[in-house]
């Protein structure tokens, strides 16, 4: 700690090991990179360090092959001086739906036992009823409850008939009465304007007696100005991160803020020299996750967010989703659909999970017709399982979306979790013989498909895929250099990618990269304009090239809506893919409408189904979608194992 500390010092929460790399690099920082620097981070003097929650739980198990509980244990041991903080989505926990109360209570208890200190609790629709169970569990475990208001607007600035000053102050008073230890304003899209921030923080200081914290993103370019005005209004704590992972869609950098406040009453007392050493480390390891940085734009800010209000992660997901559906040219239609859809669905703040719920449904509406294909999460939202939206949901949309809904066609108005059955005991039974502790059971309860797959990796029942395994910094740097070398060869003409005409055969020769090799392929143009390969591919280079994961980057948990338990043995297809054509000629296929993960089947081979009956559930574009039978008939084949990644148009089932 430096001696330069003000009479009323601003406190700092560092987000480098959670939201910063989640926002910029799809949460791909591994535990080992945190472990190496954690003792030095502990000496910085942060009010708290956000290291867990949000997307970290899902990404560690799905993409990194790491146990999130082990990460928490390690960091707690290495950072005893600094309170560890997590982002908890209220009744959603770290998932995409509201979980039953028994899961919420056990999750808070276990995370508390493993070292969590500060729980930043928010709800996507700002429904305080979705706080109740988590808050009671936090208080029972004698931990810090930070209540959170999700900031949103319907106008260019704070105001209008929804997200006005009175709305935010009234929510703050409710949270104070619930026993909050502090209050956070969560500006997930970076749309809180500087003078609005001043007015909001000033009003909150006048109306409640709680330490106030601000979380914002640099997306629009206003974050540093917004933070400064909030400090002037009396802000107590602010979220920042170390400069290598700051700005863009992340948080403001700590270093310039520290210098800005020097010699003022708000001087933080943090040591700039120490912070610079920390930044040097994170700069050094950046190549390990740099492949996940969004470099599609030169600009570090996106002023368009001030219009569409879409958080950075949501915008990248929309682009990824449309690419997967071969419909990127329809992005403009999706942006036009979003505000209309959001209004129809009750004007929820666009934050996880409602940002993904609204965003994905906008894509579905554009691709398949308005509400012709509806995700399970939209049905649950309209039914009331996410809580009360800021404005009423359009009655016509309600009628259409809930037609034939298994829970009922009339929305519920009570606390959402009151309509959910206990889940923990089913999770225990489903993981019997595999789970070694309550952490394993909770991992399954949160993500029945991908969580189960992770547990099999963890205990050696399935091999960890090569793309999941960690690489060393040296390996990654070598791959980057190899890629640069390949590009240099292409530019120099040593490895031409342009077609070469073969005058003798009328074909053209292409160099095609597959995996880590370059193949030479001859393609002959036929009279009807089609092409055919005239020679077998042969490798012409073994130059190593970094390959992107063919699956979409996900920073959010797998969508699950009222999941049925999947036993540890029940993950093989009823009929192997290789047998789908054997004796099933003339059967009607059910294709994947888009890339995704098969979650579960609702039928068995040999079962009679009617047209419109649900056959299976697929997680596509981060949402759960039910696929129905297009005809009356009998289930002839279920082709894909639950948990398997599928491409668009892959045959998932056959109806004969």
Q: Which residues pair with 86 in a beta bridge?
A: 52, 119
Q: Which residue has the tokens 């579960």?
A: 600
pLDDT class of 637 with cuts at 50, 70, 90 = very high
CA-to-CA distance for 230 and 233, rounded, in angstroms?
5
pLDDT at 538: 41
Name residue, tokens 């009929």.
575
Q: Calculate what percentage of the chain has a pLDDT beyond 70.
A: 84
Angle 216-221-227 from CA coordinates, rounded to 5°: 45
The confidence score (pLDDT) of residue 293 equals 81
pLDDT at position 1 is 45
Tokens (6 digits) for 38: 């954690």
The CA–CA distances, whole Å, from 538 to 30, 495, 514, 534 equal 37, 15, 11, 12
Three-class SS state of 655: strand
Q: 1: how many CB neighbours lie within 10 A of its CB?
A: 12
Say if CB 218 and CB 249 are below 8 A apart: yes
Taking residue 86's Cβ as centre, other Cβ atoms within 10 Å add up to: 22
CA–CA separation, 69 and 111 (whole Å): 8
pLDDT at residue 507 above 70?
A: no
Q: In 3-state terms, the chain is what percent helix, strand and coil (to 5)?
A: 40, 15, 45
- 218 or 532, which is more confident? 218
Q: Name beta bridge partners: 13.
A: 48, 239
Mean pLDDT (whole number) for 448-456:
93
User: How confident is the model at residue 513, as a pLDDT?
Assistant: 53
Please indicate whether residue 515 or residue 135 has the higher confidence score (pLDDT). 135
DSSP 360: H
The mean predicted confidence, pLDDT, of the chain is 86
- Of 213, 277, 293, 303, give the one whose Cα is nearest residue 245: 293
Task: Decide: 440 and 106 in contact? Cβ < 8 Å.
Answer: no
Which is nearest to 186 in space by CA: 60, 35, 353, 349?
A: 349
The pLDDT confidence band at residue 281, using thresholds 50, 70 and 90, is very high
Instruction: Pick the range with the lowest mean pLDDT from 172-186, 240-254, 282-296, 577-591.
Output: 577-591
Q: Comparing C-alpha atoms, which of 128, 232, 257, 241 is closest to residue 183? A: 128
pLDDT for the residue 575: 38
* Sheet strand arrangement including 588-591: 588-591, 651-655, 633-638, 608-609
Q: Return d(Cα 555, Cα 115) in angstroms, integer.
A: 23
**Cα radius of gyration rounded to whole Å, the chain:** 26
Band the pLDDT of 291: cuts 50, 70, 90. confident
Alpha carbon separation from 277 to 14, 244, 269, 505, 568 (Å, rounded): 15, 12, 16, 63, 46
| Residue of higher predicted confidence among 49 and 293 | 49
- Nearest C-alpha neighbor of 249 from the set 537, 54, 465, 22: 22
pLDDT at 556 over 70: no
Kind and range of the H or E run holding 256:
helix 254-261
Do the beta carbons of residue 96 and residue 376 sit within 8 Å?
Answer: no
Structure-derived torsion over alpha carbons of residues 610, 611, 615, 621, reported in degrees to the nearest 10: -160
Compute the C-alpha angle 220/260/304, nearest 5°. 5
- Rounded Cα–Cα distance for residues 395 and 190 (Å): 31
| CA nearest neighbour of 575 among 655, 633, 631, 457 | 655
**How many distinct helices (H) and strands (E) make up the chain?**
21, 20
Q: Of the spans 274-283, 363-372, 585-594, which averages the highest pLDDT?
A: 274-283
Residue 650 DSSP SS3: coil
Name the pTM for this structure.
0.84
Average pLDDT for 158-177:
96
For residue 336, pLDDT beyond 80: yes
Report yes or no: 438 and 110 within 8 Å, Cβ to Cβ: yes
Spatial distance between the Cα atoms of 161 and 167, rounded to a whole number of angstroms: 9
pLDDT surpassing 80 at residue 305 = yes
Question: For the stretch 361-370, what's the b/e string if a residue is b when 16 or more beta carbons lie within 10 angstroms of its beta carbon?
Answer: bbbbbbbeeb
Q: Which residues contact 626 (CB under 8 A, 6 or more apart)?
A: 376, 602, 614, 616, 617
Task: Find the Cα–Cα–Cα–Cα dihedral 515, 516, 518, 523, rounded to 10°.
Answer: -10
Beta bridge partners of residue 617, listed in sequence order: 600, 626
CA 9 to chain centre: 34
pLDDT at residue 547, rounded to an integer:
33
pLDDT for 571 beyond 50:
no
Q: Token match 């996880």: residue? A: 352
């Amino acid at each position: 700690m430096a001696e330069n500390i003000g009479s009323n010092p601003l406190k700092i929460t560092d987000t480098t090991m959670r939201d910063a790399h989640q926002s910029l690099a799809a949460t791909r920082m591994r535990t080992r990179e945190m472990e190496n620097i954690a003792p030095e981070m502990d000496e910085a003097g942060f009010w708290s360090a956000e290291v867990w929650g949000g997307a970290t739980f899902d990404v560690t198990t799905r993409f990194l092959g790491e146990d999130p509980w082990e990460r928490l244990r390690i960091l707690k041991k290495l950072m005893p001086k600094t309170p560890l903080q997590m982002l908890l989505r209220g009744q959603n926990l770290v998932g995409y739906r509201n979980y039953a109360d028994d899961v919420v209570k056990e999750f808070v208890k276990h995370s508390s036992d493993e070292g969590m200190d500060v729980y930043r609790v928010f709800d996507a629709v700002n429904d305080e009823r979705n706080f109740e169970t988590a808050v009671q569990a936090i208080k029972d475990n004698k931990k810090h409850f930070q209540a959170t208001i999700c900031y949103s607007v319907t106008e260019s600035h704070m105001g209008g008939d929804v997200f006005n000053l009175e709305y935010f102050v009234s929510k703050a008073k409710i949270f104070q009465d619930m026993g909050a230890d502090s209050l956070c304003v969560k500006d997930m899209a970076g749309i809180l304007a500087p003078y609005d921030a001043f007015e909001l923080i000033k009003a909150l200081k006048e109306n409640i007696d709680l330490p106030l914290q601000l979380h914002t993103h640099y997306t629009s370019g206003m974050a540093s100005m917004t933070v400064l005005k909030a400090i002037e209004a009396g802000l107590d704590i602010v979220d920042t991160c170390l400069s290598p992972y700051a700005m863009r869609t992340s948080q403001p950098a700590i270093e310039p803020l520290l210098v800005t406040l020097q010699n003022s009453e708000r001087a933080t007392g943090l040591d700039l020299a120490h912070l610079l050493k920390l930044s040097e480390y994170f700069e050094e390891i950046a190549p390990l996750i740099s492949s996940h940085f969004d470099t599609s734009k030169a600009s570090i800010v996106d002023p368009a967010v001030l219009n569409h209000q879409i958080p950075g992660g949501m915008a990248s997901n929309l682009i990824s989703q449309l690419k997967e559906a071969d419909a990127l040219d329809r992005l403009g239609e999706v942006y036009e659909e979003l505000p209309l859809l959001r209004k129809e669905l009750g004007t929820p703040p666009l934050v996880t999970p409602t940002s993904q719920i609204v965003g994905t449904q906008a894509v579905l509406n554009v691709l398949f017709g308005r509400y012709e294909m509806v995700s399970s999460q939209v049905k649950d939202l309209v039914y009331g399982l996410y809580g009360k939206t800021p404005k009423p949901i359009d009655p016509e949309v309600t009628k259409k979306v809930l037609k034939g809904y298994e829970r009922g066609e009339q929305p519920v108005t009570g606390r959402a979790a009151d309509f959910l059955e206990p889940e923990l005991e089913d999770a225990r039974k489903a993981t019997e013989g595999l789970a070694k502790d309550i952490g394993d059971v909770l991992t399954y309860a949160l993500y029945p498909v991908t969580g189960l797959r992770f547990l099999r990796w963890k205990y050696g029942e399935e091999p960890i895929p090569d793309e999941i395994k960690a690489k060393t910094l040296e390996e990654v740097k070598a791959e980057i250099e190899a890629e640069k070398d390949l590009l240099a060869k292409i530019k120099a003409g040593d490895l031409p990618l342009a077609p070469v005409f073969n005058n003798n055969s009328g074909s053209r020769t292409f160099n095609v990269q597959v995996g880590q090799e370059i193949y030479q392929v001859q393609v002959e143009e036929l009279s009807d304009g089609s092409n055919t390969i005239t020679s077998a591919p042969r490798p012409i280079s073994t130059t190593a090239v970094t390959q992107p994961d063919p699956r979409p980057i996900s920073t959010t948990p797998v969508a699950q809506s009222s999941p049925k338990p999947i036993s540890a043995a029940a993950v093989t297809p009823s009929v192997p893919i290789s047998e789908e054509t054997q004796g099933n000629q003339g059967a009607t296929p059910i294709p994947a409408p888009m890339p995704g993960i098969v979650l579960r089947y609702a039928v068995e081979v040999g079962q009679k189904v009617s047209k419109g009956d649900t056959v299976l559930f697929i997680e596509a574009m981060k949402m759960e979608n039910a696929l129905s039978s297009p005809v009356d008939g009998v289930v002839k084949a279920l082709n894909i194992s639950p948990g398997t990644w599928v491409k668009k148009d892959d045959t998932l089932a056959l109806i004969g």
